[in-house]
């Protein structure tokens, strides 16, 4: 664990980081959320994005990696910034205020947060809750209706960034295992764009891009006719982008 | 001017906003910079992006519009966030520290900034310096080599955002007058992408997109053979995007 020699008083009371980690399980997009284990009578125990205050001497990027690891055990991933969120009322929900009182030295301070996001292969990262996170779990994006603080808004903005990003860089491969089928890739893009994509056009475009290698190998142990397996062709992708190509939308 | 009943003590000492305003003069991209009129012996009088601390009760977006207007007189434009910049040493340049001492109540506070950017028609906005800005001027992007604080870094990130954005939305039209020639549009895209673009391919793609209206009118009073004038066809653009189209790169 990073930064465990730092004291609570070294925290910057006004600035935090929050992380939106997207994963894919072949069926749907999931998001890594923490449960702060609140027990507040009738008020909802809202889940939250993994996030916390930064340290005084800490860079924002550095803080994002540290906080994610401290709360969920997840490290060695690439985080990209979503942006700053600074609505003056962003920490004013009753249940959030209660929780802040139980945990922060200056629970009434205004906090501006820098949000980060990442895409990971869900199987590579088994979250383990630490610190004030009582649970850290992959929750289906479609089931998330409300979150602590302004985290639901942050999630929406991160989702938009992801949609834009995947059109100019084939980052979707980060969400798949090394070997995958065209159907799995197609399903992933449908999940990210939140709309059906014509299967034939999708396959035609992928073929034209020439960024997949046919592994001449089929799926095993599946309850349906096994499909052809592919892997991402990093070399061809580099050649494409060296020539300035950046249209990976479907 | 907004916010003139607020007191200096209402400022949030830890969080600021900075604005990167891009303009185009048919030849090159320019950036709106302020001169703080520093006179520091041998140290350079570095220009800065228009920026300042936010007020305690103020939203980040709101602060960006206010600060831009307070320092340069420019308002009624659309600002989009670039991101948060929080390097712990971002305000530690000697000349910046000197200036902060002369102007801030807490000159040694760590300041995290939220940066914003915009594209405007250069002729529509004549900057007028106010407050601590002694001058507010359009400076050619190609001539900017160093800026106050981490503003040079912010400028680079904003430039990248602009490049990405213009590939999925034809925002370049914001930088041109209502009537323009294909050469002017071509030049603009070359300036934004910072590379030559094949003229024939460019024209072919623009034609295929069908987002320009030929005004059946030619340039007047130009020292060369007058070119055909066009305007942006908002209606056709809306039709394209309603069908999910978002590939405006060249």
- List, for residues B136-193, the tens digit of each pLDDT value: 999 999 999 999 999 999 999 999 999 988 888 888 888 898 999 999 999 999 999 9
Inter-chain contact A15–B86, Cβ cutoff 8 Å?
yes
Task: State the total domains in chain A.
Answer: 2
Last-in-domain residue among B124, B149, B167: B167
pLDDT for the residue A40: 59
pLDDT for the residue A1: 46
CB A250 within 8 A of CB A197: yes
Comparison of pLDDT for B9 and A109, the residue scoring more:
A109
pLDDT for the residue A41: 60
> A241 Cβ partners below 8 Å, 6+ apart?
none
Q: What is the CATH number of the domain that holds A107?
A: 3.90.79.10
Alpha-carbon distances of A137 from A30, A58, A129, B142, rounded to whole Å: 9, 27, 8, 48
**Residue listed under structure tokens 């012996």:** B41
Structural domain contains residue B97:
yes
Inter-chain contact B81–A86, Cβ cutoff 8 Å?
no
Query: Does residue A56 sit at the B interface (CB-CB below 8 Å)?
Result: yes
The per-residue pLDDT of chain B, averaged, comes to 91
Instruction: Indicate the burial class of B148 (C-beta count within 10 angstroms; 0-12, 13-18, 19 or more).
Output: buried
B138, B141, B146, B152: CA torsion to nearest 10: 100
Last-in-domain residue among B167, B186, B214: B167
Task: Judge if B108 and B232 occupy the same domain.
Answer: no
Comparing C-alpha atoms, which of B116, B30, B120, B132 is closest to residue B74? Answer: B120
Chain segment B183-239, per-residue pLDDT in tens: 999 999 999 999 899 999 999 988 888 899 999 999 998 889 999 999 999 998 888
Per-residue pLDDT at B115 exceeds 90: yes
- Confidence bin at B40 (pLDDT 50/70/90): low
Last-in-domain residue among B142, B167, B192: B167
Chain segment A116-136, per-residue pLDDT in tens: 999 998 888 899 999 999 999
Judging contacts by C-beta atoms under 8 Å, the chain A residues touching residue B15 are: 14-15, 86, 112
pLDDT for the residue A64: 98
Of residues B15, B82, B87, nearest to A14 (C-beta): B15
pLDDT (mean) for A102-127:
93
Comparison of pLDDT for B245 and B28, the residue scoring more:
B28
- Confidence bin at B52 (pLDDT 50/70/90): very high
Task: Judge if A40 and A126 occupy the same domain.
Answer: yes
Task: Judge if B194 and B229 occupy the same domain.
Answer: yes
- CB count within 10 Å of CB B4 equals 7
Task: Judge if A110 and A213 occupy the same domain.
Answer: no
Inter-chain contact B112–A249, Cβ cutoff 8 Å?
no
Give the domain range for residue B62.
8-167
CB B210 within 8 A of CB B233: yes
CA–CA distance, A182 with A171 (Å, rounded to integer): 15
Which pair of structure tokens corresponds to residue A36?
Answer: 């702060």
Element (H, E) at B68: helix B60-72
């Amino acid at each position: 664990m990073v930064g465990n020699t730092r004291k609570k008083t070294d925290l910057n009371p006004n600035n935090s980081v929050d992380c939106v980690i997207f994963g894919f399980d072949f069926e749907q997009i999931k998001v890594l959320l923490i449960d702060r284990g609140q027990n507040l009578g009738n008020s909802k125990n809202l889940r939250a994005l993994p996030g916390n205050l930064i340290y005084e001497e800490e860079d924002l990027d550095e803080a994002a990696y540290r906080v994610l690891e401290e709360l969920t055990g997840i490290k060695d991933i690439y985080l990209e910034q979503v942006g700053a969120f600074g609505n003056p009322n962003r920490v004013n929900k009753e249940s959030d205020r209660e929780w802040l009182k139980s945990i922060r030295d200056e629970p009434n301070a205004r906090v501006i947060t820098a949000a980060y996001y990442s895409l990971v292969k869900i199987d590579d990262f088994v979250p383990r809750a630490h610190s004030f996170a009582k649970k850290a779990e992959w929750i289906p994006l479609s089931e998330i209706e409300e979150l602590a603080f302004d985290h639901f808004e942050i999630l929406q903005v991160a989702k938009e960034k992801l949609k834009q990003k995947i059109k100019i860089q084939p980052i979707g491969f980060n969400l798949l295992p090394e070997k995958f089928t065209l159907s799995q890739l197609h399903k992933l893009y449908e999940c990210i764009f939140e709309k059906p994509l014509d299967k034939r056009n999708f396959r035609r475009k992928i073929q034209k891009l020439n960024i997949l290698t046919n592994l001449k190998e089929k799926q095993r142990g599946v309850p349906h006719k096994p499909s052809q397996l592919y892997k991402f062709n990093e070399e061809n992708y580099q050649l494409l982008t060296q020539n300035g190509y950046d249209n990976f939308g479907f």
